[in-house]
Structure 1
Amino acid sequence: MGVTVPLAVSDAALAQAAPSQEEIIVTGVADRQLLLDAKNGTGSRLGLTVRETPAIVDILSQELMQERGLRTSVEALNATPGATSGELASSPGQLSMRGFTGGAISLLYDGVRQTNSALIIRNLDSWSFDRIEVLKGPAGVLYGEGSLAGAVNLVPKKPRFGQDAYAATAGYGSFDTARIGVDANIVLNDKVAVRGVSSLNRTSGFIDNTGARFFATTLSATFKPTDRLSVELAGDYFGDNFSTAYWGAPLVPAAVARDPSGLVTTSDGFVVDRALRDKNYNVTNADQGSDAWWLRSRVTFEISDTLTFTNELSYYDADRRFRNSEVYTYAAPTAAFPNGSFRRSTTRIDHDHQFFVERAVLASDTQIAGHRNRLVIGVEYSRSDFDSVRRFGNTTAVDLFEPARGTFAALDDTAANFPGAGNRANFDSRTTITSVFAEEAFNLTPSLLLVGGVRYDHINLERSVEDLNAGTFTPFSRTYDPISWRGGIVYSLAPKAQIFAQYSYAVAPVGSLALISATNARFNLTTGRSVEGGLKASLWDDRFDITLAGYWIMQDDIITRNPDNTNIAIQGGSQSSRGIELSTSAAITKQFRLDASLAILNARFDTLLELGGVNRAGNTPPVVPERVASVFGIYRLVDIPITLSGGMRYAGHFFTNNANSVRVRDAAVFDAAIGYRLSFGDITLRGRNLTDRLYANWFGGSARQITLSAPRSVDIGLNAKF
């Protein structure tokens, strides 16, 4: 989905309504948005603005995503200061942030966190969202276990009162990529508004035979029977279908490569061969996709001018399937394969996943001895039912340069097709979590705000593994009772300039709870601590925003090995990250705006022994670039209706394994666009990766399969609003 066509339509027509507490203000000066003054539900449930929150919260509004041509959630998250995102085929949309990846970052949908959120990650169409909010640093107080490095909240578009508004978009571009989207906001009367948003797109892919189709739709309604009562109802569907999914470019010896590149450096001389850049080694009848439904409701009742009750109820149901050859391992030349070959695995996995969450929150905004005090107390209950059929085998080898990809013959569920213990197994998982949480923001003085929070989770895990080949059935269970907390201060140097500091404590499992093994279930949750401080300021009559933060995060009790017997896994390892992040947005003139960001970090394993006693202390965790930067400029000509924009994204090198033996080169990628403004919208021609840089943003089926990003491409989009 990373190559869908951008449809940069402004949401301004849909924002001409009574302002909500989350509305983002646009100044009209180079269309700069006052994001620091926007209220957000990701950094706190207290109704704090971004500048009142003692942490960094980045907001990618729909307007910003459109003007930068950010077509998908992966592209949007790559535009987040200090973050990178990639398209791992098994879970598209993984995120690396502040030195951590995977299960250390929670994914939210409309503020609801799904336990084991790494399972549900997909590369979603940005057209569906009003904005994407990214909270940096531990978020356990808000979202429980697994929020050690932060949280990403995908906020869908919702009905707005005021007036009817409609938007549509269509486009086409490189790799036979096409997209169409519609958005209709209809106000039935002063008490009922509805909104429907849909997008359909397809691509043939920039790798051989990797076509895919995607569809997303949301229908929502807001009812306001009284001034104090609001009822929101919504249903969402997201579906994706890949014919033969791309699992990465496998590495080959430099001596074998016909056009060796410098993209990857390994300890044994393997490289990415440009001659294999477009090759697909998946079987021809591979099938991968997902169908997911969200049903959501939110009831908000203002009991009084100072007291509000909110109840949220969500239900998620998803089916996912994976029928692939995923892992490719180089083998030396033989008589049958004089060029060498790739040995290939086969994988058949099914997910049957349901998730239910009920959350009730009581919020007050009162005065205590003349000091403003905002308090939230809530309870939450969630249940995740996850069943998985998992099959692993092997299929025929293929030539490097002329692969006869063959078919997935191992569709019959037999031990002959999936031999060996553990390779033909059924997993069942039930995770129930009961939580109590509280947050408070107290104005000790008009300039000094104290913010704190605490959360208690009772986690009950029930798992079973049925190994059909070994003839065993292994049920097990485990309970956890973690407490997460944070305390912070925000001091206003001036009305639009704040400094902040925060200390946080959070927890994370040693692996995904839904997939945890009986061996790992005996371990406790890992613990995390974080210290963060920084500055947020708006200057020059709100024409210049700056945020600056420094942080330190430590995760203890990760799995390591017993120094006396490295065959035994124990807890006691640790990893840490420290860094600084700078982000700016400046309206240089009324027509020209420049946005820039820079993140520098040092991430490392502090204590980690692996099998055989190999010490990984001092190594960098996988897929963690330690330098990330971006710059984006937009200029709107006055005399003619032309808009020029362009920018650069830079990500430093990263490794694909704990040993740091596979190093992926850094990359700077340049994009540019020219748009023609119409009375009803605009037409935009955009070029991406203009220098045709060979670069990667993740790795695929193994640490030696590098997920390449798209080469140079061009797309054009027509956008309309009414």
Structure 2
Amino acid sequence: MFSFSLSSSSSFHPSPLLLALLAGFAATPPVVAQTGAAAQLERVTIDAARHGGPAPLEHSAGSSSRLGLSLQETPASVTVIRRESIEARGAANTQEILKGVPGVVFADPPGSAGTVFYRGFGSGSLAQLYNGISVQYDAIAARPVDSWIVERVEAIGGPSSFLNGSGAVGGTLNIITKIADNGGELSRFVVGLGDRLQASASLQRRLGEQDGGQVLRVELNRSEGALWTQGRDRSAWQASASWRAPIAGSALVHTLAVERQHEKVLQPYWGTPMLRGADGTVIGRLRFDPGTFGVNYNVQDGRYEQDVSWARSILEWSPNASTRLTHTLYHYDALRDYENLETYVFRNGNRQVERSGALLQRHDQRVWGSRLELSHATRIAGLRSDFAFGTDWSFNRQTRFPLSVNGPFGLSDPYAPVVGQFLDLPGISRSYTPGATNLLRSFAAFAENRTELGQGWAVVTALRADRISMDVRNHRAVSASNPALFETRFKPVTGRLGLVKDLSKDWQVYAQASTAADPPSGVLATAGFSALRDFDLTKGRQFEVGSKRGFDQGRGAATIALYDIRRKNLSITDPNDRSRVIPVGEQGSRGLELSAQWRPVPAWQLAGHWSCTRARYENFVETVEGIGPVSRAGRRPANVPAVVGGLSADWRPHEALMLGADWRYVGKRYANTANTIWDEAYQLIGLSAALRLTPQLTARARIDNLADKRYVASLSSSLPYLGAPRSISGALDWRF
């Protein structure tokens, strides 16, 4: 099963990085676990003053288990990026934080700003959560948010629908925001300058008793500035408040958290047209006219704007050390508006640009949900066994208001276009007529268990049964392909079976099998009759083996994972009837992931990751204009690189000075399923510095894309989306 053939046509040679990562596993000789009852291993306690905090693998990740397992105890590849790392790398938003997750690539084109690829699968087959909650519209709703309000990011590779429901074949990414805690009082203010202006504040205060009293926390953030393309101005703000209040002693605690987000982008950049051959087609490597870099062909008053509100009520009850009950009641409200001219193509021998694709679009989405979780630690036949049970209910309602006019809307000078106004385009008016409403109701029951088997063995199991009902109400003309009301029901059952073996207190090996389910095409919050018809959800499964090892007395950690994923029943064109789609497609992905971090001495912090992915369509047919149904079996999915790597180093030559550098490599990617259009690999280098001016005041500086590399962040066979050039930013960080 794990017979891998991993290759890349790029010039990247991973051997030095691979050897560095593998060195972590050989840093100390193995200690085989003893036999018998006495072999039950205790967790290692690391002196925080000496090593800068707990051993990396001793941390837990709530996104990978409801049992509070540490990374060592979890039979899966899990990455946790904490606040310290976010600030050290100068990540401006939630997508830039993902640079630390092995194998992940991302982009934020306005039409699908939550574009992420993980283990060979795209946004439609990934779960992008916000504080553990999915709104079932991740490719759009998971738009990058300024990182100030983020506490950490957790990523679990591979199928994980058994945790949060449908839509997680390739993996799960969970953004966890700051909330009131028992960490003590906090006052912090940051002012950012340079290519991105920012003003941010954190304030936490304890009321009443020193321990166990009420805690209030407020987070404020505002950022704005012209981005790198012409006319693209962005302003955004976030505000959150949380109140943590013990009830009847410390056993019962209630936390109320509310958050508000606003973002507005004027004249959003949708992409840069590629040069075309004499026949007007594009074949081979993408080519661009350097004179068009930074040129924006969107209308002058084009915009993207969103308002998002979150509210959570979290009740936690711990009657004793072995039992914990948590209930989360939540609400999400989002309004997103688009008014843009979105498509640009070179014509007349690449001398003019034709503009088309005018779209006025509004998304009105609301989600209500309730999640109940009970965990209990006990013993069975003298062996420790931890259980978790719960239910998960949600109601998701979204109405879309589209007005689309294809055009074209004339030809423009590629270097100095006369962009005009949106409402001056023929057929466009600012009228919001509903197109369709999706009503999504879901209820799930789940269970999870970890049982120690003795002699260093432990088995981890999880099971989830979902009941999903979806009604799609068509507000426009009724037809055979677009009925007035479309109803469908799904009953997926997903799970995980994992086995962990302690080779020593610092070294574990594991194996696991897991399953997932997601729609055959599209996402449930917008999918309709043409995408689902009488289809069931796709079936995804993964087999994974790996190892995790701490070394150098807790100062370092290294992990390795080998996986094989299959997704079946995705929609393809019927080879015998090109007017129909049938759910018989299949996609596969095999890969290798490695990561390591090491603090050899207090002054140095080193980290790196490397991944190689062999993603292929096993059975996939699409309709090609003028040809008919064409098989894409054996082709690589668009935007999925074979190799992704990263390195970072932080050096503290003096107690008041920190210097950092990071490097990122993304391999060759294809722009279409035929694999006839591609872009070569690219590398990005970043530098950072922090100087403590006084005990309370620190100055920070950051350079991204040091070499000013022009690269494609998101490939497309029609309009590629370029990444940002070199940028410089600075900040003053005041803690008081």
Question: What is the TM-score when the length of structure 2 is the normalising length?
Answer: 0.88
Residue 246 and residue 124 in structure 1: after superposition, are their counterparts in 2 closer, same or farther (change >3 A)? same
Whole-Å separation in 2 of the counterparts to 1:398 and 1:340: 6
- AA in 1 matched with 2:225: T
State the shift of 1:171 in Å. 1.3
Alignment of structure 1 residues 265-276 onto 2, 5 Å: 266-267=282-283, 271-276=287-292
Correspondence for 2:308? 292
The match for 1:400 among 399, 407, 414 is 414
The one-letter code of the counterpart of 1:498 is Q
The answer to whether the aligner puts 1:673 opposite 2:688 as a matched pair is yes
What secondary structure sits across from 1:545 in the alignment?
strand
Question: Which blocks of at least 5 consecutive residues in structure 2 are unaligned?
Answer: 1-44
Q: Is the 8 A contact 2:467 2:489 kept in 1?
A: yes
Q: Deviations over 1:204-257 (max 9, x none)?
A: 010000000010111001111212101111001111101111101111226799
Q: How many angstroms apart in 2 are the aligned matches of 1:357 and 1:535?
A: 36
- Aligned AA for 2:562? G
Q: Does 1:228 align with 2:251?
A: yes
Partner-residue secondary structure (3-state), 2:124? helix
Q: Alignment partner for residue 714 of structure 1, among 711, 728, 732?
A: 728
Structure 2 residue 559 is matched with structure 1 residue 537 = no
Distance 1:269 1:169, change over 3 A: closer
Range that drifts further, 112-121 or 356-365: 112-121
Q: Contact 1:467/1:473 (CA < 8 Å) preserved in 2?
A: no
Inter-CA distance 590–417: structure 2 relative to 1 (3 Å threshold): closer
Aligned with 1:36: secondary structure?
helix
Amino acid at match of 1:74: Q
CA distance in 1, matches of 2:416, 2:621: 41
Deviation at 1:473, TM superposition (A): 5.9
- CA 1:114 to 1:28, structure 2 compared with 1: closer, same or farther past 3 Å? farther
- Counterparts of 1:241-390 in structure 2, within 5 Å, are 241-253=264-276, 266-267=282-283, 271-332=287-348, 339-390=351-402
Q: Percent identity?
A: 26
Q: Is the 8 A contact 2:329 2:370 kept in 1?
A: yes
Q: How far does residue 117 in structure 1 lie from its aligned partner after superposition?
A: 2.7
Q: Distance in 1 between matches of 2:295 and 2:277?
A: 17
The answer for the alignment partner of 1:16 in structure 2 is none
Q: Deviations over 1:672-693 (max 9, x none)?
A: 1232123114212222111111
- Aligned with 1:325: secondary structure? strand
Alignment map for 1:55-134 (pairs within 5 Å): 55-134=76-155
The alpha carbon displacement at 1:432 in A equals: 0.2
Residues 33/598 of structure 1: CA separation in 2 closer, same or farther (3 Å cut)? farther
Equivalent residue pairs, number: 676
Post-superposition CA distance 1:297-321 (Å, at most 9, x none): 1101123442222111100001000
**Correspondence for 2:475:** 466
Deviation at 1:696, TM superposition (A): 1.8
Q: Which residue of 2 aligns with 1:189?
A: 208
Conserved 8 A contact 2:275-2:282:
no
CA distance in 2, matches of 1:667, 1:162: 41
Check whether the contact 2:648–2:660 (CA below 8 A) recurs between aligned residues: yes
Match of 1:13 in 2: none
Please say if 1:445 is aligned against 2:473. Answer: no
Does the CA contact (< 8 Å) of 1:330 and 1:343 recur in 2? no
Counterpart residue number, 2:505: 495
Q: Distance in 2 between matches of 1:364 and 1:269?
A: 56
- Measure, in 2, the Cα distance between the counterparts of 1:573 and 1:151: 23
Matching residue's letter, 2:241: L
Deviations 1:445-478 (A, max 9, x none): 1611110011111100000223359898621110
Distance in 2 between residues matched to 1:89 and 1:26, nearest whole Å: 46
1:318-717 equivalence runs, <5 A: 318-332=334-348, 339-393=351-405, 394=407, 395-409=409-423, 416-417=427-428, 426-445=435-454, 447-467=456-476, 474-510=484-520, 511-522=522-533, 523-611=535-623, 612-638=628-654, 641-678=656-693, 679-699=695-715, 703-717=717-731
Q: Structure 1 141/268 Cα, relative in aligned 2: closer, same or farther at 3 Å? A: closer
Q: Which amino acid letter does the alignment assign opposite residue 77 of structure 1?
A: L
Q: In structure 2, what residue type is equivalent to 1:475?
A: L
| Preserved contact between residue 95 and residue 101 of structure 1 (Cα < 8 Å) | yes
When residues 417 and 710 of structure 1 are mapped into structure 2, their CA distance, relative to the original with a 3 A threshold, is: closer
Please say if residues 46 and 439 of structure 1, whose CA atoms lie closer than 8 Å, have aligned partners that are also in contact.
yes
Displacement of 1:486: 0.9
Distance 1:536 1:268, change over 3 A: closer
Within the alignment, does 1:50 sit opposite 2:71 as a pair? yes
Q: Distance in 1 between matches of 2:132 and 2:100?
A: 21
Check whether the contact 2:56–2:556 (CA below 8 A) recurs between aligned residues: no
In 1, are the aligned partners of 2:54 and 2:554 still within 8 Å (CA)?
A: no
**1:250 aligns to what SS in structure 2?**
coil
CA distance in 2, matches of 1:619, 1:139: 25
Q: State the distance in 2 between where 1:25 and 1:382 align.
A: 41
Alignment of 1:139-150 (within 5 A): 139-150=160-171
Q: Is the 8 A contact 1:287 1:324 kept in 2?
A: yes
Q: Matches of 1:46 and 1:376 in 2, distance apart?
A: 6
Shift of 1:505: 1.4
Contact 2:519 2:532 in 1 (8 A): no
Distance 1:230-1:310 versus aligned 2 partners, 3 A rule: same
1:315 and 1:355 in contact (8 A); partners too: yes
Maintained 8 Å contact 1:619/1:659? yes
Alpha-carbon distance, 1:43 to partner: 0.2
2: CA distance between counterparts of 1:170 and 1:310?
Answer: 37
Structure 2 counterpart SS, 1:313: strand
Q: What whole-Å deviation, never above 9, does each CA across 1:7-36 have from its counterpart, x for those lacking one?
A: xxxxxxxxxxxxxxxxx9994567476331
**SS, match of residue 283 in structure 1:** coil
Instruction: Give the Cα separation in 1 of the matches to 2:717 and 2:183.
Output: 53
Matches of 1:535 and 1:552, distance apart in 2:
16
Q: Residue 468 and residue 282 in structure 1: after superposition, are their counterparts in 2 closer, same or farther (change >3 A)?
A: farther
8 A contact 2:444–2:467 mirrored in 1: yes
CA distance in 2, matches of 1:571, 1:565: 14
Give 1:411 deviation, angstroms: 8.1
Distance 1:299 1:229 in 2: 7
User: Match for 2:214: what amino acid?
Assistant: V
User: Deviation at 1:68?
Assistant: 1.0
Paired with 1:492 and 1:69, the residues of 2 have a C-alpha distance of: 36
Q: How far apart are the structure 2 equivalents of 1:496 and 1:271?
A: 50
Letter in 1 for 2:464: R
Q: Secondary structure at the match of 1:112?
A: coil
What is the one-letter code of the residue matched to 2:389?
A: I
Amino acid at match of 1:187: R
- Segment drifting more, 320-329 vs 299-308: 299-308
Which residue pairs with 1:5 in the alignment?
none
Does structure 1 retain, via aligned residues, the 8 Å contact 2:639–2:671? yes
In 2, Cα distance between equivalents of 1:70 and 1:474: 46
